[in-house]
Amino acid sequence: MESQRTPTSPPTPRSSSAASEGVGPPTPRTAEELLALSQVDLYQLFRRSKPGEVPAGRGRGTPIFFPGTAATKPAANVFGTLVWRGKVFRPEKAELSNMISILGISAIRARTYHQESWFDGRDCIVLDYSETSRVCGWVRDEIREVRPGLYLGLVYGRGRFFGGRRLLDVTFALSFPRASGTD
């Protein structure tokens, strides 16, 4: 069961060197294409991606539950419409807030910074809720840019309930508008 893994022993379906050489699925162009990937492919994509810069502005969120199954897209549509719409990043303040509910209410803040990933020890952008949220203080997200304007995120639970820290079976995408003429 994926959620039982510790960040010191992330899933390794292929060798890390193979992943960094581009072995695995082609890089998706959109969040919609991420929904077609398996959990193994999503981990490989995260592993071979670079963190990029902390994004700025509003990123449309796409939750990825049950990756690689027929339930992935319907779950993303329901949860992504009713519960979590995305995040608004303010890199000048090193923080973000989540857009929640069908109304896109700005709530649940987090600090943002670069740090080593708990997943593979390489640089990532951390979304840290521990000092900013009573509701989600147990959450740590890590994101990397898989394509300009498209980030893939992993979610960790931390604290006594999670045995210190645990990679959860939840991934997500953030899509940011790109300047015209860029790829």
For the chain, 183 residues long, give each residue's pLDDT as a single digit of tens.
444 444 444 444 333 334 444 566 788 999 999 999 999 999 999 999 999 999 999 999 999 999 989 999 999 999 999 999 999 999 999 999 999 999 999 999 999 999 999 999 999 999 999 999 999 999 999 999 999 999 999 999 999 999 999 999 899 999 998 754 444
d(CA 35, CA 113): 27
What 108-114 contacts at long range (C-beta under 8 Å, 24+ apart), as own/partner pairs, is: 108/133, 108/135, 108/136, 109/133, 110/136, 110/141, 112/54, 113/54, 114/51, 114/54
Question: Which amino acid would we find at residue 9?
Answer: S
Q: Which two tokens stand for residue 163?
A: 């045995």
68: buried, middle or exposed (CB in 10 Å: 19+, 13-18, 0-12)?
A: middle
pTM of the model: 0.84
Write down the domain spans for the chain: 14-175
Angle at 161 between CA 88 and CA 169, to 5 degrees: 55
